[in-house]
Structure 1
Amino acid sequence: MRNYVHELFRAARLAMLAITVAVVPALSPSTVFAQDAGTGKITGRIVDGSTGQPIAAAQIQVVGTAFGTQSGVDGRFLLLRVPAGTITLQVRRIGYGAKTITGLMLPANGAIEQDISLKSAELQLAAVTTTANKEKGSVSDALNAQKNATNAVNSITAEQIAKSPDSDAAQAAQRVSGVTVQDGKYLQVRGLGERYTTASLNGARIPSPEPERKVVPLDLFPAGLLQEVTTTKTFTPDQPGDFAGANVNIKTREFPARRQVTYSSSFGGNTSVFGKNLPFAPRAGGELVGFAMSNRRMPAAISGANFLSNIAQSQYNQMALQQRNVWNATPRAGGLNGSFGASTGGNTILGKRVGYVLSGNYGYSEEARLDERYAVGQQGSNNTVLPLTQVRGQTGRSSIQWGGIANLSTMVGKANRLSLNTTMTRSADNEARMDRGFDENLNDSIMRTTLRYVERGVATANLQGEHQLGERNKTAWSLTYGNTTRKEPDRSDVVYSRDASGRFSLLSSLDGARRLYFDLTEDNRTGQFDHTLYVGSVANQNAIKFGGYYRTTERTAQAPIFSFISRATESVRAQTAEVIFGEAQACATCNNINVQPIGQAGSYTADDRTVAAYAMTDWGLGSRVRVITGARFEQARINVLSSTQGGFTAAAKLDNGDILPSLLVNTKITESQNLRFGITRTLARPEYRELAPVTFRDVLGGVSVTGNDKLVRALIDNLDLRWELFPNPGEVLSVGVFAKQFDRPIERLESATSGAYQARFQNAIEARNYGVELEVRKQLGV
């Protein structure tokens, strides 16, 4: 226990040191602009009071002085060297009513942030004067993304996350109505599987680190790095169309209004873990920072062997001797959980308007599943179920998670904004599972131990630009590169069954002892262009929007599996696997060990190209009704090349072009009530492995999975109706109904037959999904 605590704090100190090294230079006097004595700075943004959208080119003036500036394309403004004291601001913009803000207290050498909302001149006939405190409330209401969105969205903000015990994006997202989280990481929305939910980071698609599916585990993103998690449930043409449940966008932290440094830490314990004697996987070194590959690599004797030729016994012995001879869990007492984080940010560097934020987090946790049960059945006569395999066991897992962001944003003139957002996250799970039960394949009782160590990483770089082109044109573009890795080095499975004497001994078949070396890498490049033309008056402003999208994805996955077979006597095979495959059984004159590749394993490569173009309008019918309609065309080409360890290869491809229409009607019943209606079409494409007509052994579940190169994409027609009430800022009551009609949905069919568990994929004829959603959020005032 003492060593465990020492290692935890050592890793935490290293993480904090790394964060501090990054933070300190950003805070040094050489990089921070110093205000003149007796002056301060004022920052904020100007937004439309009805829509919450930023207002560019607004004039901001400090009353009674010559200090003034203009808001940029993002609505933000910055006033430097303003005399300290009580300040009054006046804001003007053509098409909007003027507003004066009084009672701003600016301290010497300090900074204040003041966001300001404006109403159209048609709705506000005279200039308005208000206090700073009252203005904060009106801006909070205007910036309510859920209230002012064109489509049905749910948002969880950094403030809400900070008030909850959520440690990552997955836990934060599960607070959205209609969202459930599977295995603590995979989102399922409106009862649909993860196939129908997509994930984006700062608006760009995140590549998937999972081998069997294109799903993003959201537990990769620590809560300390998040600004907002937005779940969009209705499709508009400016979004990728391959979702039916939701599109989840994770937005990393924005730079603060004034320079600040924050530190955080937390400790906790799980009563089912702390101090309890549980099975944990032994460490090889590097697990506490998520880099343990070097001590778990495939032995050179195995990677360099030609299994299609005759192999000498001495080579088999070397394979056993070079491997990391660890097969069993190590019982120990569970420990505490902890996390540490630090961040810094500001909006000026050397007196220039450059926003920056640097943030890092590290966390360690342990969990246990004490009574897991797994069963496979077969349909019998008279609608009965015949049990084939039934096992139960327990799992001990230790996990680390760390991540960092470095974001920069600056204005080029008043009409151009450039941003660079970089993110890196890494997680590692070290897991031991012990099962015991009956296996129908063996027709006997078994004991099975599995040791798994999984590293996952995501790194992204996103360059964005916004440009205000005159009064009525706005252009935005984005370029993103993302890299995802998933490594499962040296997974071991060892199975014992009862021998003739009634004792348990290692199986002498291919399933007795296995090692898996899994490695997946995916690269994703995305480019997006959007242009908006505003038409009409400010009070009833309409928009025409069009743009293009390009995404290319390249994935390589390798999953070689090797079986270690013991030819020793039953008395030897009754001992631990470490003894069975140790030096005594792999000596120069020994003939007890054989190593064979398992045919249902191998590798695949995939490339995915998606090109899209869209056009849409956002049109007001009077002051209460808005119609958002348009269509998106998507052309997708997917190519998959698969090969098994047995030497069989197969290619598959998918090539589709689809038009995806969308019609949304939003009615503002009152200032605090909305009624939303939407009818849209989206799609779902097969995953890479589902297309390959090759039988693989599922590296996660042990089932033989066969792909189908005849699969086609599924089309989904979506119908949504939702009523919303926003009684106070931060409060919401909504009731929604939805219905979905699927044409040729992709289904996974599993079957259990004597001696084998199999899965395959095929298109069903049709399917339906419908439901009701209720959301209530109330401030308790405590």
Structure 2
Amino acid sequence: MKFNFLYLIFLICSLGFAQNKGKVAGLITDADVNNEAMPFVNVMIKGTTNGNATDMDGKYELSVNAGNHILVVSYVGYEPVEIPFAVQPNETTIVNTSISSGSVKLEDIIIQGRVSRAKESALLMDQKNAIEMKQSIGAQELTRKGVSDVATAVTKTTGITKQEGSGTIYVRGLGDRYNATTLNGLPVPSNNPEQKNINLDIFSTDLVEYISIDKVYGSNLYGDFAGGNVDIISKDYQGKGFIKVEMGGSGNSNAISEKDNFKLQGGFNSSGFVSRSIPNDPLNTYNFQTLSLEKKTPFAGNFGISAGDNYSIGENGKLTLFGTASFTNDYASKNEGSAASGINENATGAPGQDGLYGRKFDNYTSFSYNTKATAMANVGYKINTDHKIKFNSIFVNSSSQSTDNYSGRIVDLADDGNGLIRRSTFIQNKLFINQLLGEHRFSDRTRFNWGVSYDKVNGEMPDRTTNTFNEGANGFTINSQSAPNNNRYFQSLEETELAANATVDYKFAKTEDGLFNGKLTVGYNGRFKKRDFEATQFNVKTDISYLGTIVDPNNLDLFYNQQNFNNGFFKVSTFRGGSEVASSLNPQTYAGDQNINGVFANIEYQFGPKLTAVLGLRGENSVQNVSWNTQLDPEGDANKLEKNAFLPSLTARYAINDKQNFRFGVSKTYTLPQFKERALFVYEDITEVHVGNPFLYSSDNYNLDLKWEMFPENEELISVAAFGKYIQNPINEVTIASSTNDISYINTGNTGYAAGVELEYRKLLFKSGSTDANKLTAGLNASYMFTEQKLDSEKVKSETNYQVDFTHSKGQFTGASPLLLNADLTFVKEFNENKSSLSTTLAYTYFSDRVYSIGTSNRGDLVDQAVGTLDLIVKSKLNSKLGLDLGIKNILNPTINRVQENSAGDVNVLSYTKGLNIGLGVNYQF
């Protein structure tokens, strides 16, 4: 009876206690991001341990005793909010609120909070809640996939590939001229005279917090947009003081296998910092640097250090400092190669048949050494809870030294296939970026953001050498039938750009719960670019009496020296003439200036709990001036291109439910030609020549996007997108009839279009425990695209000085791969007892055949054939401070092929393998 009595008392007390219970529930939103739902926010009853985190949809629910309480809402990097509320027995009290980072308390800012903003889960939530259609890839994903540069990073997202051998990317099949690059929302200049955008592989991912890719146009972006805008968000430190050191080594299988033959031109140091210029009196004396090759040991390394700290200033102020510096190098080799140019329709490929091949090299090899030195400093100052300014400064010095050997047939020079052309090239690019950014909150309705930048690029190609030989029974002789066959080439580019952004946000239509349904944004973008480019080529022509002299291609200093110059073995001249011509040392030049001013207005409005839309209008004026004085036009000339554009855009998001969105976007944009595309200047490679077209003009683009996406669980995504682009007067690279496959830039027809479908799937396959420490995840994204444009020879002839006869009446866009594929599988295991962990990722990338250049004069298109690459990345933490990394890249080592299409069968014009890259690294954080 005693037991039953006690049990009865316990039951009665429990029932009474339950009757005094109630619930508090609600939604937490982010005031900084359109009041979108925030996951992982801490919600707690003040003075108790009763708390939880919001779910993926920003919702929470807590069971509490009836009575008065205070709800504490906090998130790292955001201001905590305390909200009094009352709960009645057996009832639920709804408490919704928004939190903001604009008035964050100093003690709440810790490094873990900043890192979480770059997590894949956090970026997925940003993607889910954003009105616009965008994709982002953060530091966490870049690390586990072993990505070391931004160019490779963006290819891990849907619909983006990188051009082989460069940092140029293609977004939805549209190449360099159709895309844009920004850093923290401000434009950055190109470091290459042949490109609009900076080579993205110049940016190490050590500098990156995350990368955002906009494929759908919004009026806050510059109107020169058709493919996408890549915005690199630099790391911003907010934590306790630290110092991290990392180092490693790597090797390339091709380079190591050729270690006995791995030779580069002497006279360049291994740091990548070189000072070399045109020697004094180059036409009357021979003071050029050595031509001899030096043997290299092809094992590479890297070293990096980063540090950060913060300091309180007064009651609300805070100063944050972050800096990082690194140096990396690598050796690479292209083996088992071949190259050719000048192939006509129905070519059999047989050497010696004039008109079939201008040049056919059955043996092509390339040895290269690359360096990258990077330094970044960030200084942030929070004046008070409503005003912040930040200064970013980045310096990058990149260099590439290569020796390329082409052996085979050279029409009219080595028709028997006994020719050899050697080109040694050193390229150094220095980029200096300076940005000042400000954020100001004047009220809960009004914000003002601004940014200014001053950037400078110096690109140098000092003393590129080209030498041509014939191989006979007794050895090699110099082939100098044409003066440019042997030359030394000096090229220099300087570009400066000033840019400014300013936006004002005003929220309106306030609701009963203190949120706003509407926001008006007005703003201005401006960029002012100036480029100066000059090049001088010294042609070294051997006297006919010495053309039979046997020389050593690896030690040409024995022939090209001051004594032989004095004895008349050879002469030096430029395209303007020799020393007898007063203007002979005047370089070939082109200069360009471009001013773009744009004003815009966006109206964002939430029509209900499901539908939100943004209407944008932009007016933009662009003026581009180009002048030149080159070997194609020694007298010089100039022209002007002006564009006034009115660019509307509309994007909308319809939330089908808590986990699904449907998105829509439509816009008008345009595409400007670039300086180098309009300047009448020749860029010469061994197998092809690029030449500018002064008659080139802009295209107009009309864009449509549809997307459905679902977020089943944390870190999971299923999405399907469809897009279409209608382009008036599209610009393409076109092969001009010549023996060397000259390529220019042409408005090839009146219209063209692209249409495609993109799929993305991210799945958590396995998870053990209550944390994310032990899991197996998979990712797959794929895109299929169809492009077609009309090719009109008569249009080209009427608009330009070029005589172009297209082989076909229609074709694909250059650079457009119909099928793109990325897949990855990652296993993560954490050993909590000593804070050690292991992460292993297998990543695969594939692109199908894509047109490199459109064929003319019965020549087929030049096509880059499909390539698939496989990488294995292993990262481990031995303890909380020490880590080891292993990377094996390009495991499949596919053959890279470029072919010219031919009715009798495709003919190979370029072929090589790159080899495997194996790297091992160690890092330690103090």
Q: TM-score band (shorter)?
A: 0.7 to 0.9
Partner of 1:389: 359
User: Are 1:613 and 2:599 an aligned pair?
Assistant: yes
8 Å CA contact 2:604–2:613 kept in 1: the answer is: yes
The structural deviation recorded for 1:378 is 3.8
C-alpha change, 1:214 and 1:566, in structure 2 (3 Å) is same
- Determine if the alignment matches structure 1 residue 344 to structure 2 residue 307: yes
Deviates more, 1:215-224 or 1:745-754: 745-754
State the distance in 1 between where 2:324 and 2:430 align.
17
Question: How many angstroms apart in 1 are the aligned matches of 2:753 and 2:374?
Answer: 40
Residue 154 of structure 1: which of 109, 113, 135 is its match? 135
Which residue number corresponds to residue 524 of structure 2?
548
Q: Distance in 2 between matches of 1:49 and 1:747?
A: 42
Cα displacement string for residues 346-369 of structure 1 (whole angstroms, at most 9, x for unaligned residues): 332566411221111211111111
Matched position secondary structure for 2:265: coil
Q: What are the equivalent positions in structure 2 for 1:294-305 lying under 5 Å apart? A: 296-302=276-282
Over residues 89-147 of structure 1, what are the superposed CA-to-partner deviations in whole Å (9 max), with x where a residue is unaligned? xxxxxxxx984259x9xxxxxxx87787999x9x9823799xx9xx9999986663222
2:734 corresponds to: 749
Q: Secondary structure at the match of 2:548?
A: helix
* 1:411-461 C-alpha deviation (Å, 9 max, x unpaired): 223221111111111111111111112123536232011111111121111
- Give the AA of the match of 2:726: Q
Aligned to 2:575: 598
- Hey, what's the Cα distance between the residues in 2 that align with 1:49 and 1:635? 31
Residue 185 of structure 1 corresponds to 167
Q: What are the Cα deviations for residues 147-188 of structure 1, in whole angstroms up to 9, with x where unaligned?
A: 222222111111112222111111211111111111241111
Amino acid at match of 2:613: V
- Of 319, 322, 326 in structure 2, the residue corresponding to residue 357 of structure 1 is 322
2:581 alignment partner in structure 1:
none
For residues 779 and 456 of structure 1, what CA distance do their matches in structure 2 show? 42
Aligned to 2:897: none
User: Compared with structure 1, are the counterparts of its residues 574 and 358 closer, same or farther at alpha carbon in structure 2 (3 Å cutoff)?
Assistant: closer
Secondary structure, aligned partner of 1:274 = helix
Cα distance per residue 1:713-768 (max 9 Å; x no partner): 10111111112222333332222111111101122221243477453533521111
> How far is 1:213 from its partner?
2.6
1:291 equivalenced with 2:273 (yes/no) = yes
The Cα offsets for residues 568-626 of structure 1, whole Å up to 9 and x where unpaired, read as: 42332544432221244124xx1222111136971111100001011111111211111
Offset of residue 229 of structure 1: 1.1
**CA distance change for structure 1 residues 394 and 98 in 2, over 3 Å: closer, same or farther?**
farther
Alignment partner of 2:534 out of 558, 566, 575: 558
CA offsets 1:468-527 (integer angstroms, 9 cap, x no match):
122211111111111112111000010113579996533242132111111101101001
Partner of 1:202: 184
State the SS of the aligned residue for 1:243.
Answer: coil
Determine which of 762, 765, 788 is the counterpart of 1:777.
762
- When structure 1 is superposed on structure 2, of 552-561 and 212-221 the one drifting more is 212-221
Taking a change above 3 Å as real, the CA distance of residues 648 and 348 of structure 1, as seen in their structure-2 partners, is same
Counterpart contact for 2:413–2:481, Cα < 8 Å = no
Q: Provide the C-alpha distance between the structure 2 equivalents of 1:366 and 1:458, rounded to a whole number of angstroms.
A: 22
Match runs of 1:100-111 below 5 Å: 100=72
State the alpha-carbon separation in 2 of the partners of residues 332 and 531 from structure 1: 56
Report the counterpart of residue 707 of structure 2 in structure 1.
722
Measure the CA separation in 2 of the matches of 1:297 and 1:397: 21
CA distance 1:500–1:626, shift in 2 (3 Å) = same
AA partner of residue 302 (structure 2):
S
- Tell me the amino acid that sits aligned with residue 348 of structure 1: Y
- Displacement of 1:386 in angstroms is 3.8
What residue is the counterpart of 2:565 in the other structure? 586
Say which of 287, 298, 303 aligns to 1:334.
Answer: 298
Letter of the 1:515 counterpart:
R
Q: Which residue of 1 aligns with 2:194?
A: 212
Alpha-carbon distance in structure 1 between the residues aligned to 2:146 and 2:245: 17
Deviation track 1:54-74 (CA, whole Å, cap 9, x = no partner) reads 99xx9x999679xxxxxxxxx
Q: 2:30 aligned with 1:47, yes or no?
A: yes
2:621 counterpart of 1:635: yes
Q: Which amino acid is 1:644 matched to?
A: T
Matched, 1:229 2:201: no
Structure 1 pair 63–441 and aligned structure 2 pair: CA distance change class (3 A): farther
Partner of 1:514: 487
Post-superposition Cα deviations, 1:687-711, rounded to whole Å, max 9, x if no partner, equal: 112223x3x3214567454433332
- C-alpha RMSD over aligned residues: 3.5
When Rg is computed on C-alpha atoms for both structures, the one with the higher figure is 2
Check whether the contact 2:399–2:428 (CA below 8 A) recurs between aligned residues: yes
Q: Say yes or no: does 1:662 pair with 2:663.
A: no
On the 8 A contact 2:262/2:298 being kept in 1, the answer is: no
Partner of 1:11: none
**Post-superposition CA distance 1:613-657 (Å, at most 9, x none):** 111111112111111112111100011110115732010110110
1:712 aligns with 2:687: no
Q: Give CA-to-partner distance per residue, 1:179-219, whole Å, 9 cap, x none.
A: 11112411111111111111111111110111123121011
1:320-364 deviation per Cα after TM superposition (whole angstroms, max 9, x unaligned): 2x00131x54444421x3222221223325664112211112111
Q: Which residues of structure 2 form unaligned runs of 5+? A: 1-27, 49-68, 86-91, 99-107, 350-354, 578-586, 766-774, 776-827, 829-926
Say whether the 8 Å CA contact 2:413–2:479 is kept in structure 1: no
Evaluate the alpha carbon distance shift between residue 608 and residue 117 of structure 1 in structure 2; reply closer, same or farther with a 3 A threshold: farther
Contact 1:378 1:752 in 2 (8 A): no
Question: SS of 2:277's equivalent?
Answer: coil
Counterpart contact for 1:49–1:142, Cα < 8 Å: no
What secondary structure, in the 3-state scheme, does the structure 2 residue paired with 1:167 have? Answer: coil
Q: Which residue of 2 aligns with 1:267?
A: 249
For residues 709 and 49 of structure 1, the distance between their equivalents in structure 2, rounded to whole angstroms, comes to 46
Alignment of 1:485-496 (within 5 A): 485-496=458-469
- Closer/same/farther in 2, CA of residues 597 and 217 from structure 1, 3 Å limit: same
Look up the match of 1:405. 376
Residue-by-residue CA offset, 1:640-684 (whole Å, 9 max, x unaligned)? 110115732010110110011101111112222221111111111
String of CA shifts for 1:550-582, please: whole Å, max 9, x gaps.
110000011111101111423325444322212
Q: How far, CA to CA, are the matches of 1:672 and 1:118 in structure 2?
A: 29
Q: Secondary structure at the match of 1:586?
A: helix
Distance change (3 Å), C-alpha of 1:383 and 1:168? same
Match of 2:264 in 1: 281
- TM-score scaled to structure 2, two decimals? 0.67
Residue type of the alignment partner of 2:360: Q
Q: Residue 47 of structure 1: CA displacement? A: 3.3
Partner of 1:526: 499
Mapping 1:363-512, distance limit 5 Å: 363-380=328-345, 386-391=356-361, 392-440=363-411, 442=413, 444=415, 445=417, 446-497=419-470, 504-512=477-485
Q: Distance between the aligned counterparts of 1:148 and 1:241, measured in 2?
A: 25
Aligned mates of 2:710, 2:274 — CA distance in 1: 51
> What is the total number of aligned residue pairs between the two structures?
666
Cα 1:138–1:427 change in 2 (3 A) is closer
Contact persistence 1:566–1:573 (CA under 8 A): no
